[in-house]
Amino acid sequence: MLSLNTVSKTYADGTEALRDIRLDIEQGEIVALVGGSGCGKTTLMRLISGLDTASSGTIAVDGETIAAPHPAVGVVFQEPRLLPWLSVADNIAFGLHHLPKAERKIASEAALERVGLAGYGARWPRELSGGQQQRVSIARALVPKPKVLLLDEPFSALDAFTRASLHEHLLTLWEASRPTVVIVTHDVDEAIRLADRVVVMQPKPGRIFETVSVAAPRPRDPLGLPYEKAKRRVLHALDRSLQNEIKAKQPAPQGGEAALWW
């Protein structure tokens, strides 16, 4: 289980990025984080990954506190970030140096086959398209079999067709070892397509506004009623979270104007 207990983050300049985040995510569950700009989604991902530390509260995986980068947590960023001096196969096997060479090769080839890139191991990253590079990045993150996989808008720079294809590849890889997955996205359809739960965050400071469960079985039909119901709930929650922010910025009515403020 990934457990976030009253996690808050305030930066040195006084900016309060997150306040009192409480969230438990079960092993094998996929959770999507959505919300307006400034709601702290990426900050929260950095805290879970151990790339930054919380001002207060704790983050733990199976009871072990995460305070620095940890082998139990894999990360996929918006850009593939492949090492250009390594072949595709060596990029995927980069985190497997504890294994014998033969085992690294087998694991790399199996991962490439699962993401539809069998036979691409000897190529260089520059020879791949953007979508292919992101497939390699996802495969690299999952090969060490992390307990938790974090994805920070990994498909946002891709066209709709490539993005839909990568959704299928991601779910195929996830099925193999069932890690806990947390994905940040601005795409509500992407959140509904992938996640078991969608966490809607409210900005300034970042807080959890509402959690929407997605009951539709996979693969999900975007024209089906369960999908449409979940999408409407997420969109409605997003709208209300942003309306609350606007209301918070409005000055309270004063004196005799109180009855006429609207």
User: Higher model confidence: residue 205 or residue 97?
Assistant: 205
Look at residue 188 and tell me whether its pLDDT is greater than 50.
yes
Helices (H) and strands (E) in the chain, counts: 7, 10
Question: What pLDDT is stored for residue 245 in this prediction?
Answer: 61
Residue 104 token pair: 């690294």
Look at residue 262 and tell me whether its pLDDT is greater than 70.
no
- Is pTM beyond 0.75 here? yes
Domain 2-80+146-253 CATH superfamily: P-loop containing nucleotide triphosphate hydrolases (3.40.50.300)
pLDDT above 70: percentage of residues in the chain: 93
CB 48 within 8 A of CB 182: yes
At residue 230 the predicted structure's pLDDT band, cuts being 50, 70 and 90, is very high
Average pLDDT, the chain: 87
Question: What pLDDT is stored for residue 142 in this prediction?
Answer: 85
Question: What pLDDT is stored for residue 251 in this prediction?
Answer: 53
Question: What pLDDT is stored for residue 261 in this prediction?
Answer: 24
Question: What pLDDT is stored for residue 249 in this prediction?
Answer: 57
Question: What pLDDT is stored for residue 258 in this prediction?
Answer: 36
CB 247 within 8 A of CB 233: no
CB 197 within 8 A of CB 203: no
| DSSP strand pairing (197-202 vs 73-76) | unpaired
Nearest-angstrom CA–CA distance, 234 and 155? 20
Nearest-angstrom CA–CA distance, 226 and 237? 17
At 44-92, the pLDDT tens digits run 999 999 999 999 999 999 999 998 988 899 999 888 889 999 999 999 9
Question: What pLDDT is stored for residue 102 in this prediction?
Answer: 87
> 3-state DSSP: the chain helix, strand, coil percent, rounded to 5?
40, 25, 40
Question: What pLDDT is stored for residue 190 in this prediction?
Answer: 93
- 89-109 mean pLDDT: 87
At residue 135 the predicted structure's pLDDT band, cuts being 50, 70 and 90, is confident
**Per-domain residue ranges of the chain:** 2-80+146-253
Nearest to 148 by CA among 176, 188, 114, 177: 177
Look at residue 252 and tell me whether its pLDDT is greater than 50.
no
Nearest-angstrom CA–CA distance, 185 and 187? 5
At 27-41, the pLDDT tens digits run 999 999 999 888 999
Whose structure tokens read 């995510």?
A: 25
Residue 163 token pair: 């993005």
Look at residue 254 and tell me whether its pLDDT is greater than 70.
no
Helices 101-114, 160-177: crossing angle, 10 deg rounding: 130
Letter string b/e over residues 159-190, b meaning 16 or more CB atoms within 10 A of that residue's CB: eeebbebbbebbbebbeeeebbbbbbbebbbb
